[in-house]
Structure formats: structure tokens, C-alpha cells
Structure 1
Amino acid sequence: MSRLKPLLMSELSPDLQHTMLAGEEIMGFSPNDGLIMARKPEMLNGILGLVQTLYQPSALPTEIKKLAALMTSSSSGCQYCEAHTTYGALKHGVDKQKIELIWEYPTHPLFTEAERVALDVARSAALVPNGVTDELFEQLKTHYTDEQIVELVGIISLFGFLNRWNSTFKTDIEATPKKATENLTLSK
């Protein structure tokens, strides 16, 4: 049970209702973390702006974004974000087998070398202290442009915040991502 109860849509100002409805259109449900964050409207709007910026179509493939978000959340142990990122990856067409085998990325042939490096960075960046080495970052540069790297680290950092937020609040997982992910088991 969430440590802080999510607000009801009826408790939000019209502007925040609009913001939450935009999120609901994208995700297919109203996220409880947003309904908790709505107590600080500026924060909710700031996070939404960052999410929209990072997930707009760009040179960094959506599949890499989704897998990096999942790896960051899974590495951090945030069940809420792991459910959300798994659901989002499935919704955006990421191969279900790739999702289930995400922890086997270093050796599984389903993953490309570019994906392996991105997932290494996501896993290492989720560690405390940060485990990204200079060598690993140099490997990243052989597969991605500077703009793509900034975007990848942006995704990882967004989920670093959301992982801590949702783990601290013990945010309840909504029915839609819970149902979509209940039959999946990520290898670890």
C-alpha cells in the first residue's frame, strides 16, 4: 500500500487534470506516481516535460530507450517502475523474449553489441555509487552519437529519480501494468 495516498482526479485543478489526462492517453491509465506528485504541481509538470522530451521520436531508437529504462528500474529494484517500463516496452513493440531475457543481455544472441553497451551503462549507472567507467563510456561512443548518448543518459537519469520516488513512496502498481506483466519473469 502506498505510503502516501494518490490524489483523486476530482481533487486536481483543471490544469493538472489536463496534465494527468495527457499521461493517461499516452500510458492507457492514470499513473499513481503522478497522482502523488500532483501535490507539487510544478514538479509534476517538470517531470512530464522531461518525459515528453526524452520519449519523442529521435535518433535514439525507442527500443533502446525502453530497454535502458527497464534495465535501470530492474537494477534499482523498483517494482513499480519495473512494471511500468516492462508494460511500456511491450506496448511499443519490444520483443517479449528480449524483455524476459534482459538480464542475459551480455551473452544472449538476441541482443546486439550496441544494445549490450547501452544496457551495461544503464545497469552500471543504476549502482550506488555509479559504476560507469571511462572504458565503458568509450565503448558507448563507438555505437552512439553524442546526442544519442545525452538522450540515453537522460532516460537512465529520469528512471533514477522515478525509481527512488516510487520505492520511497511504495507506490501501488496500477491494474493495467500489473496485468500486462504478471505472466512475465525477467531473468536475473
Structure 2
Amino acid sequence: MSRIPRVPAQRANLLTKLVYRYTRRRFGAVPDPMAVAAHHPKLLLASGIGELAVERAARVLPASVRELAVYRTAVRIGCSWCVDFGTMLQRNEGLDIDRLKEIDDYRTSPRFTELDRLVIEYADAMTDLPMRVTDEQVAELDRRLGHQGVLELTHMIATENQRTRLNHALGITAQGFTSGEACRVPTP
């Protein structure tokens, strides 16, 4: 149960009802972070527009790289909702979600490529407090992904840091988009 309750559809304004309808069709349920954010309809709208814009713009990296970085960030911070939702998104993209069970062993697991390992290390470095990103990390990622790829990767990790920290602070936990298909983060 989140620290702030969801806004039920019957109490939602027209805009929020439209958001609920869209997300229910797209994801099979209204995501809890949206239902909680519905208490502030202007922020809900701003967040939704921002998420759609990022989704449409982030097309330089392969989905497997982009989603792996986002997933690792959620695991690292401990947002069970983001882990749950991220697993569903990867499954829907046709990506290998079985490898997510081995994400903590990424350095030795044969399920991760050398690029995957660099991406995971970068996500960890960006997520740690204080951040510990190095010039060498960025240079190697730039060599492999190019400027646009590094910018997209960095943006996606930073965006997931925002999402996971917001959800974690509000006590929003796994909603059931997956059924234990990947790593499960302990709920607070």
C-alpha cells in the first residue's frame, strides 16, 4: 500500500479518467504511480507528456541496452514497482527476461555481453551516491555507442533514478505486472 492512496476512477477528473483509460488499454492496468500522481493532475499530465516524449525520442540504442540500464537502476535503488513494470516492458519487447535473475552476477554470467557489463557498471556509477562516473567509462561507452548513444543512455538512467526515487519515497511497491519472472526487490 502506497503512502498516498490511489485516486479511484470514480473520483478522478475527466483528464485523469482519459489517462486511466489509455494506460489500462496499453498496460492492462492503471500504473500505481499514475493513480497516486492523479492527486496533482497538472503534474500527472506533465509527467505523462514527458514519458511519451522520452519513449519516442529514445531510439538510438537497442531496446535491450536501454531497458537493461533502466532495469539495473531500479534494482540498485530498490524500487519493486519499477522492477515489476520494467520486467513486463522487457517481456513485451521480446527481450530475454530470464537473464534478469542473474543481474547481480553480471560480471561472470554468460548471459551478459561486454557491452551489457559496461552499461550496468555505468548505471551503477550514476546511481551510487555520491556518483562515481569516470572519464574512462564515458569514453569507452562513447567509442561503442557514439555521442547520441551515450546521451540517450545517460538520460534513461537519470530518468529512471527520478522515477524509482519518487516511487520508493511514496511507498509504491510491485503491482503484479509480472509474476516473479525476474529479480524481486524486497518491499520496504
Would the TM-score normalized by the shorter structure come out above 0.5? Answer: yes
Matched-pair identity in %: 21
The question of whether the paired residues in 1 share the 8 Å contact of 2:32 and 2:172 is answered with yes
Task: Please state how far the C-alpha of 1:141 moved relative to its aligned partner.
Answer: 0.6
Task: Please state how far the C-alpha of 1:42 moved relative to its aligned partner.
Answer: 2.3
Q: Paired residue for 1:48?
A: 48
Q: Point out where structure 1 has 5 or more consecutive residues left out of the alignment.
A: none
The question of whether the paired residues in 1 share the 8 Å contact of 2:80 and 2:184 is answered with no
Task: Please state how far the C-alpha of 1:19 moved relative to its aligned partner.
Answer: 2.1
Distance in 2 of aligned mates of 1:151 and 1:60: 7
Q: 1:1-188 maps to which residues of 2 (within 5 A)?
A: 1-56=1-56, 58-175=59-176, 177=177, 180-185=178-183
Q: The residue matched to 1:144 in structure 2 has which SS?
A: helix
> Counterpart amino acid of 2:55?
Y
Q: Point out where structure 2 has 5 or more consecutive residues left out of the alignment.
A: none
Distance in 1 of aligned mates of 2:171 and 2:24: 21
Could you list the runs of 4 or more consecutive aligned residues of structure 1 that deviate by over 4 angstroms after TM superposition?
none
Distance in 1 of aligned mates of 2:173 and 2:114: 35
Task: Please state how far the C-alpha of 1:129 moved relative to its aligned partner.
Answer: 1.2
Seen in structure 2, the aligned counterparts of structure 1 residues 185 and 160 have a Cα distance that, compared at 3 Å, is closer
Across the aligned residues of Structure 1 and Structure 2, the Cα RMSD in angstroms comes to 2.0
Distance in 2 of aligned mates of 1:7 and 1:86: 25
User: TM-score of the superposition, structure 2-length normalised?
Assistant: 0.88
Distance in 2 of aligned mates of 1:107 and 1:98: 12
Deviation per CA, 1:57-78, whole angstroms, max 9, x where unpaired?
Answer: 6121111121111100001111
Distance in 2 of aligned mates of 1:106 and 1:129: 22
> Counterpart amino acid of 2:180?
E
Distance in 2 of aligned mates of 1:24 and 1:66: 22
The question of whether the paired residues in 2 share the 8 Å contact of 1:6 and 1:35 is answered with yes
